[in-house]
Amino acid sequence: MSTYVLLPGAASDHRHWRLVVPGLRAHGHDVITPDLPCEDDSAGFEEYADVVVAAVRGYGDLVVVAQSMAGFTAPIVATRVPVARIVLVNAMVPVAGESGGQWWETSGLRPVRRAKELRAGRDPDREFDPVEIFLHDVPEELREEPLGQSDTPFAKPWPLQRWPDVPTTAVASTGDRLFPVEFQRELLRERLGITPVEIAGGHLPALANPDGLVRTLL
């Protein structure tokens, strides 16, 4: 059996995975949901990886699942401990020297997202609404106030020279309004040479489509 290490995205913690954990454990897998130091201004992606490495000590056959911004952290973890597989879920995929802040421009996201918003009849220049972008398909009872998110990870360059030599797969949500699925397909093709498995849902499938995400992870 595997040990699934579930990493949340920005301004989130272990609660993000509460509907996914039972499904994985029901199949006999171990599950670890470390809380990353998202509110700590002294912590960048290397410090996030420190927390994960400490949490997985003593476990084997690690499958590191990275939601959104955790795409910067998962590969760092894979250079420090043996990892069987990385699974990206609507994730940011960095290249050498790219910071989390730079990624929004260098990844090519903005023009694709703008075109998608226009096609959907939404004003791309409107004020950012987290409910509309992140939570539009998440049941209200599962919506919680986000944690604080330090800007430090967005300022520091990604420290690796290349993606680690670890089998990597990806899950992309067809209804993601933050990272449109057509953007994810191209990003994953260009940067990792892989094609994502597509599932229903928005940016947060662990909350909006947990059964579909569990089936895909398994």
Q: Locate tokens 């993606």: which residue?
A: 163
Q: What is the pTM of this model?
A: 0.95
For 116, the 3-state DSSP assignment is helix
Q: pLDDT by residue for the chain (218 residues), tens digit each?
A: 999 999 999 999 999 999 999 999 999 999 999 999 999 999 999 999 999 999 999 999 999 999 999 999 999 999 999 999 999 999 999 999 999 999 999 999 999 888 888 888 888 788 878 888 888 899 888 888 788 899 999 998 999 999 999 999 999 999 999 999 999 999 999 999 999 999 999 999 999 999 999 999 99
Q: Locate tokens 């250079």: which residue?
A: 79
Residue ranges and CATH numbers for the domains of the chain are 3-217 (3.40.50.1820)
Q: What are phi and psi of 197, to 5 degrees?
A: -80, 130
